[in-house]
Amino acid sequence: MLNNYERIEKIIKILRDSYQNPKTALKYESPFQLLVATILSAQCTDERVNKVTPSLFVKYPSIKDFADAKQEELEKDIYSTGFYKNKAKSIIGAAKAILENFEGKLPDNMEDLITLPGVARKTANVILSSVFGKAEGITVDTHVKRLSERLGLSKEINAEKIEKDLMDVIPKKDWLEISYLLIAHGRLICNARKPLCLQCPIKHLCPSAKKFYPSI
């Protein structure tokens, strides 16, 4: 019988074989564009964000353009992503902070990133892993949260507590890709309403599979 660490290693290997080169679905061409897209993705689908950002990045091509943006106008530009007032305020605030405190360059460490308006650990982890290839934590979005519970990796509800649990049981060498593996699996197989356990390549390693399909 596998111990928990061996089980987790097998889960990661199978997911890695199933989802080649997993990465964020958000489209961007610069580190700051990814920051903007990640802020917009809060309580919004990546698909919706990717429909908004092309014209947004044409209208505001630089960090300074975002810093100089009028909040009411930016709110209209990002309205369809929801929570547009807070998001516009955060984006403008983050742009100004980068220009004033970091010489116009997006910080490459957790400590500095979370000082930016609208940036908590989730957003910072996306930036660090996708742009800088740094593993200072594990991104916990709705998919990661759901799969962490179903796979028995965490019983917590709070994202930062879930992240801590994951960091305790997942080898650091896997931190960079584990979120994207879980997100890919959550979208394709382990969805929120009715997980497709019969098609799942890790069902034999999942304590929740029998809850949904007792015959497994």
Q: 104: phi > 0 → left, psi -120 to 50 → alpha, else beta; which?
A: left
The catalytic residue among 87, 122, 145, 203 is 122
The reply to whether 31-130 shares the fold of 4-22+139-212 is no
From first to last of its 216 residues, what are the pLDDT tens digits of the chain? Answer: 788 899 999 999 999 999 988 889 999 999 999 999 999 999 999 999 999 999 999 999 999 999 999 999 999 999 999 999 999 999 999 999 999 999 999 999 999 999 999 999 999 999 999 999 999 999 999 999 999 999 999 999 999 999 999 999 999 999 999 999 999 999 999 999 999 999 999 999 999 998 888 888
pTM, two decimal places: 0.90
**Pairwise CA distance, residues 75 & 73, whole Å:** 5
CATH class of 4-22+139-212: mainly alpha
User: Is 23 among the catalytic positions?
Assistant: no
User: Is 165 among the catalytic positions?
Assistant: no
Residue 1, pLDDT score: 75
The DSSP letter of residue 62 is S
Residue 148, pLDDT score: 98
**Pairwise CA distance, residues 214 & 184, whole Å:** 25
* Domain spans in the chain, listed from the N-terminal domain onward: 4-22+139-212, 31-130
**Pairwise CA distance, residues 139 & 121, whole Å:** 8
| Residue 30: burial class (beta carbons within 10 Å; 0-12, 13-18, 19+) | middle
The catalytic residue among 46, 77, 141, 174 is 141
Residues 6+ apart with CB under 8 A from 35: 94, 106, 116, 119, 123, 127
Q: Domain 31-130 in CATH: superfamily?
A: Hypothetical protein; domain 2 (1.10.340.30)
